[in-house]
């Protein structure tokens, strides 16, 4: 760490960057013992040719280990009315899928959550450690929009809302 890094207060970093609205997703993977799911606010489209997407996940995340072992995952784009589900997937619960009726992504075998705006099924392309997070890159296998008209969940300045549209 350089002396310049020490000058940036982590809480100020989080506060300022919180002014950038982000979509909210849940990344799921089919684990050997049980499925894994984690709420993510850093999902991004990377490339059209080949079709690549990515997100950042803390290096200490137990869900990250399951995802890497599975070698595949599904990105579930949450609808604005799925705040409770988001909270469960952001928690440290041992069984985040209790009482959740999922379907299975054909390519990855990962859970697809009910009521989502979109699903992006992927194989794991690469994992790159960057600071205290890993950049997870996936190659898209298939895409679906089960609820294309549902407003998406958006995270902004520490709270959840939706896109108002124009």
CATH code for the domain in which residue 150 is found: 2.30.110.10
In a domain, 165, yes or no: no
**pLDDT higher than 70, residue 103:** yes
Q: What is the pLDDT of residues 57-77, one digit of tens each?
A: 999 998 889 999 999 999 999
At residue 4, the pLDDT reads 58
**pLDDT higher than 60, residue 10:** yes
In a domain, 42, yes or no: yes
At residue 94, the pLDDT reads 85
Within 10 Å of residue 33's Cβ, how many Cβ atoms? 6
Distance of CA 117 to the CA centre of its chain: 13
Helix, strand, coil proportions of the chain in percent (round to 5)?
15, 40, 40
Lowest-confidence segment of 4-13, 14-23, 84-93, 149-158 by average pLDDT: 4-13
**pLDDT higher than 50, residue 1:** no
What is the greatest pairwise CA distance in the chain? Answer: 50
In a domain, 15, yes or no: no
**pLDDT higher than 90, residue 20:** no
Give the helix ranges, DSSP H, for the chain. 3-6, 10-17, 62-70, 83-90
Q: Give residue 19's pLDDT band: very low, low, confident or very high (50, 70, 90).
A: confident
What are the tokens at 97? 């899928």
User: Contact, 75 vs 29, CB < 8 A?
Assistant: no
In a domain, 95, yes or no: yes
User: Contact, 33 vs 73, CB < 8 A?
Assistant: no
Q: What domain range includes position 48?
A: 20-156
What are the tokens at 142? 């298939």
At residue 164, the pLDDT reads 73
In a domain, 13, yes or no: no
3-state secondary structure of 83: helix
Domains identified in the chain, total number? 1
In a domain, 129, yes or no: yes
pLDDT averaged over the chain? 93
Instruction: Give the mean pLDDT of 102-106.
Output: 97
* Residue 28 bridge partners (DSSP): 37, 74
């Amino acid at each position: 760490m350089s002396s310049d890094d020490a000058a940036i207060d982590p809480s100020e970093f989080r506060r300022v960057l919180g002014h950038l609205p982000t979509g909210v997703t849940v990344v799921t993977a089919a684990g050997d013992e049980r499925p894994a799911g984690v709420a993510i606010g850093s999902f991004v489209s990377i490339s059209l040719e080949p079709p690549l997407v990515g997100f950042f996940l803390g290096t200490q995340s137990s869900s990250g280990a399951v995802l890497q072992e599975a070698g595949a995952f599904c990105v579930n784009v949450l609808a604005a009315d799925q705040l409770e589900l988001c909270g469960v997937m952001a928690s440290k619960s041992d069984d985040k899928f209790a009482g959740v009726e999922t379907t299975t992504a054909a390519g990855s075998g990962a859970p697809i959550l009910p009521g989502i705006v979109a699903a992006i099924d992927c194989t794991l392309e690469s994992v790159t450690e960057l600071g205290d997070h890993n950049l997870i890159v996936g190659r898209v296998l298939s895409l679906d929009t089960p609820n294309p008209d549902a407003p998406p969940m958006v995270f902004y300045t520490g709270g959840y809302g939706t896109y108002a549209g124009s």
